[in-house]
Amino acid sequence: MKEILEYIKRIQSTAETGLHYSKNPFELNRNIEISNICIELLERLTNIKTEEIKLHLEERNGYRTPKVDIRAVVFNEDGKLLFVKERIDGRWSLPGGWADIGFSPSEMAVKETREEAGLIVEPKRLLAIMDKKCHPHPSDLYYIYKIFLECELKGESEPDGMETTDTGFFDRNNIPELSGPRNTPDQIRMLFDFKEGVKTPPYFD
């Protein structure tokens, strides 16, 4: 099922790119039809209403590209990893979220950690760039790249409390229940491997 959803999203994005570049009215109509068929298939497979799918998928602003999710990787002096408790599902994730226009990846890591955890950090190195489809996350309407940046803890601030309800540091053997759309157990184990020097070059894909 997950593989089928990925193929449908690829076809839909190709059709939308065609809508941007096509000048011939027949090509435009074909691409509109293909896009509509894909959206109808997604509705049947996911039980998500057509209008919501269109809201997420249809950009109509040019060549379709993946969305980017930035995650801050923050270890404390005891080698424990920072997690925040997501308000949306009551489970835990690394602080982070969608990249905002006008912010670099490092600026997003700083911003999200301050807002979600009430901590001030300084990004130090890129650990990984992951294609979400290559990892066992739940299916998603978006096509997503995830960027993991190791950050040094510098101080404290005030969280805004809008998206998270709690903050905590956890060791490798005491990982909380994870928010699956945001991070997986294998990803967390990999981050501890980076911290402990088992893994050094950045991971990709």
Q: 81: how many CB neighbours lie within 10 A of its CB?
A: 19
Backbone CA torsion sign across 109, 114, 115, 116 = positive
DSSP 136-187: TPPP-SS-EEEEEEEEEEEEE-----SSEEEEEEE-TT----B-TTT--HHH
CATH 3.90.79.10-classified regions of the chain:
67-204
pLDDT digits (tens, 9 = 90+) for 65-116: 899 999 999 999 999 999 999 999 999 999 999 999 889 999 999 999 999 9
Higher pLDDT, 140 or 56: 140
Tokens standing for 137?
């996350």
Q: Is pLDDT at 148 greater than 90 in this prediction?
A: yes
Q: CATH code for 67-204? A: 3.90.79.10
2-9: long-range contacts at Cβ-Cβ below 8 A with a sequence spacing of 24 or more?
2/133, 2/139, 4/45, 5/42, 5/45, 5/46, 5/139, 6/133, 6/143, 8/38, 8/41, 8/42, 8/45, 9/38, 9/42, 9/57, 9/141, 9/143
| Residue 193 binned pLDDT confidence (cut-offs 50, 70, 90) | very high
What's the angle, vertex CA 15, arms to CA 11 and CA 17, rounded to 5? 115
* Residue type, position 142, single letter: Y
